[in-house]
């Protein structure tokens, strides 16, 4: 098959909007310059000693062991804990600290085999009254209700946005029709 310069230019003209659209759609969703496959979203759930419940999510970069962001709620407090104010290792386990107004939320992670880092983290329990942690998860330093039970579990994989699928599908249709016309002429 002999491709002329005009055929190559037409092919590039047809494919480039698809490639550019995919690149723009992919970069628009990135908040930080972190490979998205290393950041995993985890669901968080738990209950405190005062019967308040904990719910929400954390984004954790499991290649470097850092919490990137989160959105957590406690049923007895109005507002979401989205302000990440600290993280590190204390009492032999990693912790993360969020604040909402005057309230503070501290979550300590239980890691297998005495681990001290969230590198490779796949979910598990939060430090609470039942799992023999040196530290404990709590909220609101003034009242200090301790976590009675808590878990962190890997969220299901996110599906691509419909706009991305539509753009990709439209590009593939155009390429297919162009190839069909080209082979029909021969």
Which domains occur in the chain, in start order?
A: 36-154 (2.40.128)
Instruction: Provide the 3-class DSSP secondary structure of residue 108.
Output: strand
pLDDT at 158 (0 to 100)? 62
The span from the CA of 104 to the CA of 97, in Å, is 7
pLDDT digits (tens, 9 = 90+) for 147-176: 888 889 998 766 667 777 778 788 888 888
pLDDT at 30 (0 to 100)? 39
Question: What mean pLDDT do residues 13-35 have?
Answer: 52
- Give the residue ranges of DSSP H helices in the chain: 5-28, 162-185
pLDDT at 1 (0 to 100)? 53
């Amino acid at each position: 098959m002999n491709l002329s310069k005009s055929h190559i230019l037409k092919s590039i003209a047809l494919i480039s909007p698809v490639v550019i659209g995919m690149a723009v759609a992919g970069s628009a969703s990135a908040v930080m310059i972190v490979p998205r496959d290393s950041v995993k979203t985890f669901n968080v759930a738990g209950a405190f000693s005062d019967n308040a419940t904990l719910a929400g999510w954390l984004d954790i970069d499991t290649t470097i062991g850092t919490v990137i962001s989160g959105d957590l709620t406690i049923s007895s407090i109005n507002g979401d804990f989205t302000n990440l104010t600290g993280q590190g290792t204390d009492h032999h386990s990693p912790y993360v600290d969020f604040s909402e107004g005057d309230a503070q939320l501290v979550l300590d992670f239980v890691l297998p085999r005495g681990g001290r880092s969230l590198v490779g983290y796949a979910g598990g329990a939060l430090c609470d009254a039942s799992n023999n942690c040196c530290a404990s998860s709590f909220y609101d330093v003034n009242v200090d209700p301790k976590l009675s039970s808590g878990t962190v579990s890997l969220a299901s994989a996110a599906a691509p946005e419909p706009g991305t699928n539509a753009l990709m599908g439209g590009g593939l249709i155009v390429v297919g029709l162009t190839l069909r016309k080209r082979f029909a002429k021969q």
